[in-house]
Structure 1
């Protein structure tokens, strides 16, 4: 064999060895090391959040007792009032037709009174002389007294239509009085606005709304999937959007018996009495959230939810537990309450088991799940 041929064979052999080494390294499976965690005992609290707002427990609307025009507004929104304080006055603008009709009834009644008086005087003289009986005279006297009362009623009706009150100097109907102590939340009218009294066919014009700002409640809504776990009298915490870092204790006192559908989901109204803090001023209508405890379990065996995997076929949760030889064994779990971070384990692992902490997902993990 020539020297050149030997060199070629040596080069081929070296290339073959290099190729074997390269393929060997490429096909060699790297060993992945996993850290482990053991189950632990902790308290798991399952909560839900209800969105809503805080509103006064007691709020009323003040409406006029007579139709007219706002003459004066004496207080501003936000003013504190006591029951009986004057808020505004109404100037009566009488209906001309009703005024003329009332005046006509007064004039007609005066005519009847004058006629009844003449009859009374004439028959009194006859009764004094013994010409007519006492019974006949008393009937004439009754007619006279009734006509005088009719005149008084007609005059009162005329005054009410004309100036809003039957008594001279009285302002009972034209004065808008606070019906409770509290804070004026809103005065939706201004001087010169026409207002309508409340009657069977009209709710009337609201002149002012008053509320007791020392008694506030939370009004919110919860989903139908969670309302069954709520209990009246439960303690909750209310967070107000306008006040950061402060939670107000509250007590749930109302759960609506009927839900309303909103955007495809049935929502149930809830209410809770809020305990106020004197260091904070709560305004009516603040948006708020309520943290409501649905379920609480103390000192239960738990693991972190990040350790869970779910079988793609059965969708059952499982973990991998380390065996004595260092390999991992798949164990299906039965889970209980979860708070989104930790989950209660009812069956599947013990407190001494070492559970695999999953590394970043790989193709090998996906194949193993299949």
Structure 2
């Protein structure tokens, strides 16, 4: 029994010894950990936030008719350039029966008033002529003649006013019936003309469409929309988490999806004071004026992204963010700099701005230092590393 126990114990010891030898042999076969290093470089670091939106005209003018009717002819198409005063459309007036009847009755009433004023004037003129003859002979006093003279002048003025009223009523009748009248000279209300110079962005009406003039109860029908395409702005929205970082006057870099490999410079002009809830988040409207568009045509309404540049450092000493370590107690940043073959010393550094990939280093290291890549993935060489 004792002999069996001794044999088993010896077997266990031999097995444990063999296992230890195998472990040590495998350990000796593994390559020792060799840390790669990386030197700092000069970088231009830009800190920015993004906003999505579209390109729209700074000022878009809607052309509306000054009289209601039916579009008889359209003289422009979207994409054309027009000058101020160019003819855009011709409107045919369809008179309202009630208004037309009222205008006819007004003409008849004013004609009657004119006839009455003329009869009264003839009567007063006859009285005036008799009294004038008597006054010249010295038969009546001056005061009496003055009263007759005043009555005569009033009757004459009433005739002139009645004629004006009749003419105005006839013009009003013509306007209701045809949309224009000879009394308006060169201003034909049936002709819709451009009020500003620019490109025609949209013509929402066609021949035969009814249009309504603008008034206190209706904004009117838009005949066309015009804009100066050399004055375009970015109009977008930014999340509430980012709005506190921006301010008016910051530079923008605009990228338009339909125009590849081109960036447009802009300046942030407007930040909405009130946010709007969209899809569970608060969004703030922003606007930025695009610069130097003389050589580039951007269509209104194109979607675009704006990079709002919050901070920028040109050609500064920088390292990759992944090389920075932080003290567990003080949370101060540091790096490990090579002082020999696989020998490193710790150096505290002062950091500047970061774009998430590179971070500016203000103090602590020089451009010639070799910095330890402490978190390199095994088997994956680091960019710009040196062994």
Contact in 2 for aligned 1:259/1:269 (Cα 8 Å): no
Task: Trace 1:208-247 onto structure 2 (pairs within 5 A).
Answer: 208-223=224-239, 225=242, 228-230=245-247, 232=249, 235-247=251-263
Cα-to-partner distance string for 1:270-321 (whole Å, 9 max, x where unaligned): 212331253x432111222233432122444421012235678887655444
Give the structure 2 partner of residue 73 of structure 1. Answer: 74
Task: Trace 1:84-95 onto structure 2 (pairs within 5 A).
Answer: 84-95=85-96
TM-score by length of 2: 0.78
Task: Trace 1:247-266 onto structure 2 (pairs within 5 A).
Answer: 247-248=263-264, 250-252=265-267, 254-256=269-271, 258-263=273-278, 264-266=281-283
**Alpha-carbon distance in structure 1 between the residues aligned to 2:13 and 2:166:** 138
1:144 shift after superposition: 2.1
Give the structure 1 partner of residue 161 of structure 2. Answer: 146
Contact in 1 for aligned 2:44/2:314 (Cα 8 Å): yes
**Alpha-carbon distance in structure 1 between the residues aligned to 2:294 and 2:128:** 81
Residue 194, structure 1, aligned to residue 195, structure 2: no
1:70 shift after superposition: 1.0
Give the structure 1 partner of residue 137 of structure 2. Answer: none
In the alignment, structure 2 segments of 5+ residues that lack a partner are 1-7, 133-144, 380-387
Contact in 1 for aligned 2:86/2:194 (Cα 8 Å): yes
**Alpha-carbon distance in structure 2 between the residues aligned to 1:152 and 1:16:** 127
**Alpha-carbon distance in structure 1 between the residues aligned to 2:367 and 2:89:** 73
1:204 shift after superposition: 0.6
1:255 shift after superposition: 2.6
**Alpha-carbon distance in structure 1 between the residues aligned to 2:276 and 2:326:** 33
Cα 1:271–1:43 shift into 2, 3 Å: closer
Cα 1:306–1:152 shift into 2, 3 Å: same
Residue 306, structure 1, aligned to residue 322, structure 2: yes
**Alpha-carbon distance in structure 2 between the residues aligned to 1:344 and 1:197:** 63
**Alpha-carbon distance in structure 2 between the residues aligned to 1:43 and 1:75:** 50
Cα 1:87–1:135 shift into 2, 3 Å: same
What secondary structure is seen at the aligned counterpart in 2 of 1:47?
strand
Task: Trace 1:58-207 onto structure 2 (pairs within 5 A).
Answer: 58-130=59-131, 133-167=148-182, 172-207=188-223
Cα-to-partner distance string for 1:86-123 (whole Å, 9 max, x where unaligned): 11111111211111112111111111111111111122
What secondary structure is seen at the aligned counterpart in 1 of 2:173?
helix
* Farther off after superposition, 121-130 or 339-348: 339-348
Residue 283, structure 1, aligned to residue 299, structure 2: yes
Task: Trace 1:314-329 onto structure 2 (pairs within 5 A).
Answer: 319-322=335-338, 326=342
Give the structure 2 partner of residue 35 of structure 1. Answer: 36
Cα-to-partner distance string for 1:43-71 (whole Å, 9 max, x where unaligned): 32223333322223332111000111111
1:333 shift after superposition: 5.3
What secondary structure is seen at the aligned counterpart in 2 of 1:71?
strand
Contact in 2 for aligned 1:57/1:215 (Cα 8 Å): yes
1:213 shift after superposition: 2.2
Cα-to-partner distance string for 1:199-227 (whole Å, 9 max, x where unaligned): 12211100111122233333334455356
Cα 1:100–1:312 shift into 2, 3 Å: farther
In the alignment, structure 1 segments of 5+ residues that lack a partner are 1-7, 363-370
Q: CA RMSD in A?
A: 3.4
Give the structure 2 partner of residue 51 of structure 1. Answer: 52
Residue 342 of structure 1, aligned match among 358, 363, 374: 358
